[in-house]
Amino acid sequence: MTASAFASIFLLFLTISLGLRLWLAMRQIRHIDAHRAAVPAEFAEKITLAEHQKAADYSIAKTRLGINSTIAETALLLGLTLGGGLHALYNFWAQLFANGGYAHSLALIASLAVASFLVEVPFSLYRTFRIEETFGFNKLTPRLWLIDTVKGAALGAAIGAPVILAVLWLMGAMGGRWWLHVWLFWMGFNLLVLLLYPTVIAPLFNKFSPLEDDSLKARIEGLLKRCGFTSAGLFVMDGSKRSSHGNAYFTGFGAAKRIVFFDTLIERLSPPEVEAVLAHELGHYKHGHIKKRIAMLAVLSLGFLWLLGQLIEAPWFYAGLGMPYQGTAVALILFSLALPVFTFPLGPLTSALSRKHEYEADAYAASQTQASDMVTALVKLYRDNAATLTPDPLHSLYYDSHPPASARIAHLQGSQA
């Protein structure tokens, strides 16, 4: 393949990807706005018109911001590749690190991370302090936002730099099968993060306190015993410190698994509803969804690394993306930049698999608790989180990891019958 041919293919896929993203976003806005005037019949007794319209306006505001963010990200991608931005950064750092090596590679990767952050930060600020604030969800102060940002950057550098150095060393030292060694290292690193996240990483950003409500604790422990599930503890996270959104989740791996409830979730749901939400999360474990996702990550990452192994010696791959220089760091960067452009059309497949898992977890919750409790919990979560009840079907099919509210509740009610 020639460099010009690859550049043309890249531009074609990028254009299709951008056009599809914008088209789906506009469909979402039009569809939600067209159904803004009336609450869907199945929710009419549970959600007021004002709540429905708040969810519609909130969803539209986020989608519009997403359009602008997508355009900015695409412009950055073009600027770094065909626009020569990566080439210019490479030359800039080469003047400071004349001998090249790992210092030059780390500086190049770090400068790209900074560029990406600078493009994203205005959208993050607008999302937090304009949209989330307007709709009553934001609890972050500018000071806390800055502290979180600095912590995140420091943590990313502390973890990312050694990981990148290890990957670059493996790429250069392990011969033609370097991609297999990198894959083994990468999977080991991901499993280590799963193990350490609950006790080492998460407490850097939030406070986790043992669940103190004795009646709720007894109810949950009864559910865990019925399901044959053990955990390292039941914890309440101070989610209200940053947002009024509510959720519950499992974190950790193996014996380090923790059950975490947002404090906002416990405040808003009744004990039977909290139990039903937890049963749903247990369903993911009982059906092996976590293991399946790890296995899928393993297969995909192995395939992508193998593909990079085939491209790393191809001059057209570098030149087609605006780089006259070859090397392990440059190959890794270009591959990371270009891969999402070519894999975006696969989005509906991963979304469909995720929705299938959600249905299975809902069915498990209905088998262990009252389906009606899960239904009322979902309605409250949709209402309190201002999640739209009327997403565009195609947009939902492409992006949504969870089924639409009406389909999900109908499935639960069917299992109850």
Q: Which residues have a catalytic role annotated? A: 281, 362
Distance CA 383, CA 47 (A): 7
Distance CA 397, CA 395 (A): 5
Backbone φ and ψ for 250, nearest 5 degrees, come out as -100, 150
Report CA Rg, the chain.
Answer: 24
Strands 248-251 and 234-237: unpaired
Torsion of CA 331, 336, 339, 343, to 10 degrees: 160
Distance CA 58, CA 62 (A): 6
Distance CA 350, CA 348 (A): 6
Provide the phi-psi class of 288: left if phi over 0, else alpha when psi is between -120 and 50, else beta.
left
CB 219 within 8 A of CB 271: yes
